[in-house]
Structure formats: C-alpha cells, structure tokens
C-alpha cells in the first residue's frame, strides 16, 4: 500500500501530456502566417489566399503598426500562459523540473492548446483517515 501511495505521488509530480496535434498545428500555422505578414509582407501571395488574401492585404496596407503590435502581443500572451503553467504545476503538485520545463515550453509554443490540458488535470489527492 505504501508503494502505491508513493507511486501515485511520483506520477503526479512528473505529470505531462503532449498537446493535441490539430490545435497545436493551428497555433503554429497562425503564428507563422502572422509573422510572415508582419515581417515579409511583400512576399505574401495575397491573390492566392482566397478571401483571406484581400483582408490581409488591407491590414498590411492600412494597419501595419496594429499588426506588428498584435504580433508581439500574441507572443506576450504566450509568455503569460507559460508562466501561468508554472503556477499551475506547483498548485497541482507537479514538482519534477523536467515536467515543469516541458509544460513551460509546450505552452509557450502552443498556447491554450497546451494550457487547457494542464488546467483540466485533476491530481488524485491523498485520503485523510
């Protein structure tokens, strides 16, 4: 019985789950497109992007400063989500340094696609007799 309790505690301390592929892919592609539009707008093939093309071209031509600020704000939000992931790790008993680093990095790159998994995690609490 003692082994089972220590095993459960160890599992909680090292808990990590990879983010789901589709939400992660959407995040990466969205941030990649955002970076492309902000830093290399002249190379974007607007006419080949369907309805997104003219809209993006309008934003680049008339609101480039807003786009640039929005891009950096998106990364700032990802930093905030990553720091919150660290707080959640401590709160949920995830004490292993490697697991915490994985949560931080995954949340930094994939945002809410990762953070939602950590938020949903419910560690098993030890029973009080």
Q: What is the pLDDT of residues 68-120, one digit of tens each?
A: 999 999 999 999 999 999 999 999 999 999 999 999 999 999 999 999 999 99
* Mean pLDDT in residue range 49-73: 98
Q: Please write the tens of the pLDDT for every residue from 5-54.
A: 555 556 778 999 999 999 999 999 999 999 999 999 999 999 999 999 99
Number of helices (H), then strands (E), belonging to the chain: the values are: 6, 0
3-state secondary structure of 82: helix
Task: Check pLDDT > 50 for residue 2.
Answer: no
CB distance 123 to 93 below 8 Å: yes
H helix intervals, 1-129? 2-13, 21-39, 52-62, 64-91, 97-110, 112-120
Q: Give pTM, 2 decimals.
A: 0.82
């Amino acid at each position: 019985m003692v082994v089972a309790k220590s095993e459960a505690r160890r599992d909680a301390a090292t808990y990590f789950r990879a983010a789901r592929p589709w939400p992660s892919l959407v995040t990466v592609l969205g941030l990649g497109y955002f970076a492309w539009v902000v830093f290399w707008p002249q190379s974007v093939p607007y006419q080949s992007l369907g309805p997104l093309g003219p809209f993006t071209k309008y934003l680049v031509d008339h609101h480039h400063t807003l786009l640039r600020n929005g891009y950096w704000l998106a990364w700032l939000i990802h930093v905030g989500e990553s720091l919150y992931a660290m707080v959640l790790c401590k709160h949920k008993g995830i004490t292993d340094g490697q697991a915490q680093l994985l949560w931080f990095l995954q949340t930094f790159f994939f945002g809410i696609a990762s953070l939602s998994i950590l938020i949903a995690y419910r560690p098993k609490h030890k029973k009080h007799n």
